[in-house]
Amino acid sequence: MKPFRYERASDASTAVTMLAEAPGSMFLGGGTNLVDLMKLGVAQPQVLIDVSHLPSHRVELLADGGVRIGAAVRNSDLATDRTIRARYPMLAQALLAGASGQLRNMATTGGNLLQRTRCVYFQDISKPCNKREPGSGCPAREGYHRNLAILGASEACIATHPSDMAVAMVALDAVVHVLGPNGERTIPLIGFPSPSR
Amino acid sequence: MTISITLKVNGATHQLSIDTRTTLLDALREHLGLTGAKKGCDHGQCGACTVLLDGRRVNSCLAFAVAHQDAEIVTIEGLADGERLHPLQRLFIEHDAFQCGYCTPGQICSAAGMLREVEAGWPSAVSADLNAEHITLSDDEIRERMSGNLCRCAAYANIVPAIAAAMQNRSPKEVTR
């Protein structure tokens, strides 16, 4: 694993500024995907900005019947939240169908959406991969691809997003609230520019 | 990049000078000499490294030590009360719930965290009613909830009854302490 500097963000706007100002920086949430990718050499951040302590741990029932889910809400807390279980059982079931008890206790909602593909060639830096190195090729097209895309793939990449949670959220017309250097905006989850796509 | 950190493990506070890349598992094993938590896959798939972070079971191989300085960490070494074994430890022995024993610390820490989740009414993927107030811990429920802990000796046939006995025979408070 490459050496990195560890920083902790105190609030969301500070986190955005830190990310914009530090070259090669990435956000750390639960770490279940990122730490693994760092061990594999796929992710090589120079600075890790820990955002798991930001105050976004709530699942709020809104007046219109919807819910707002904090990016730092753990998968287990979301799956077992009484409101989610009663009003959005599809989302609770999708979460409980994924990973293990230990991983769900660590993984965050934001990190779940932003996780990288599980394509074995993406995870193996000794292999070509258009997603890691554009133009290097895609061994998955002819190789091991039984969990990869049939529909919606491109010539360059047939990777899929691994999240069960995201599938349920897309079916529920979820909208992602994003904070960036230019302020807040909302993006329908179906068009969310996830790094897995 | 070396950094000074504080870890609270099994009730004791430790000052460590470590590389930021050190996982919680490596900090426990290599820096604190707590070799109970095991390195199996080192990728969060086998559960041998399971410890309790603020009472919740997690894979310590996927956690950076530097990120968990605020947490109360409990390892298998911290479950027993001196010479008095934790009920799960005693029941694993009574039920012969292991062969080589490599996965056992992770299995027991995971079971301790899992029983707390049951006590809190958390459903699992095999629970018939997501909204039930009370979870009946059937063998199927135990298998599903313990699916993050692999045993290559395949001692599952005895691990499941050991955990079932922990739930049936003891007060929840004792089991989840």
Place B168 in a pLDDT band, splitting at 50, 70 and 90. confident
Q: Which whole number is the average pLDDT over A107-127?
A: 97
Looking at this protein, which amino acid is placed at residue B82? G
CA distance A185 to chain B (A): 29
Complex ipTM value: 0.95
Between positions 63 and 122 of B, the ones with CB within 8 A of A are 63-64, 66-67, 70, 110, 113-114, 117, 120-122
**Residue B43 touches partner A, C-beta closer than 8 Å:** yes
Q: CB-based contacts of B85: which residues, under 8 Å, 6+ apart?
A: B93
Domains of chain B: 2-77 (3.10.20.30), 87-176 (1.10.150.120)
> Which pLDDT does position B174 carry in this prediction?
52
CA distance A167 to chain B (A): 16
Condensed to tens digits (0 to 9), the pLDDT of residues A28-67 reads 999 999 999 999 999 999 999 999 999 899 999 999 999 9
Please give the Cα distance from B148 to A32 (Å, whole number). 13
Chain A residues in contact with B108 by the CB 8 A cut-off are none
Percent residues over pLDDT 70 in chain A? 98
What is the secondary structure of chain B as a DSSP string? Answer: -EEEEEEEETTEEEEEEEETT-BHHHIIIIIS----S--SSSSSSS-TTEEEETTEEEEGGGSBGGGGTTSEEE-GGGTSBTTB--HHHHHHHHTT--SS-TTHHHHHHHHHHHHHHHHTT---TT-S-TT-SS----HHHHHHHTTT---TT-THHHHHHHHHHHHHHS-HHHHT-
Q: Which whole number is the average pLDDT over A111-138?
A: 97
Closest residue of A to B148, CA-based?
Answer: A100
Condensed to tens digits (0 to 9), the pLDDT of residues B75-132 reads 999 999 999 999 999 999 999 999 999 999 999 999 999 999 999 999 999 999 999 9
Which one of A46, A102, A116 would you mutate to disrupt binding with B, by most B Cβ within 10 Å of its Cβ?
Answer: A102
Place A193 in a pLDDT band, splitting at 50, 70 and 90. confident
> Which pLDDT does position B175 carry in this prediction?
52
CB contact under 8 A, A103 and B44: yes
Residue A158: CA count within 13 A, CB half-sphere: 18
Question: Cβ(A121)–Cβ(A143) under 8 Å?
Answer: yes
Among candidates B62, B120, B122 on the partner chain, residue whose Cβ is nearest the Cβ of A31: B62
Chain B residues in contact with A53 by the CB 8 A cut-off are 70
Q: Which residues, listed in sequence order, are joined to residue A61 by a DSSP beta bridge?
A: A67
Among candidates B3, B120, B123 on the partner chain, residue whose Cβ is nearest the Cβ of A6: B3
Question: Cβ(B67)–Cβ(A50) under 8 Å?
Answer: yes
Geometric angle at alpha carbon A195, from B20 and A112, rounded to 5°: 70
Angle between helices B87-94 and B156-169 (to 10 degrees): 130
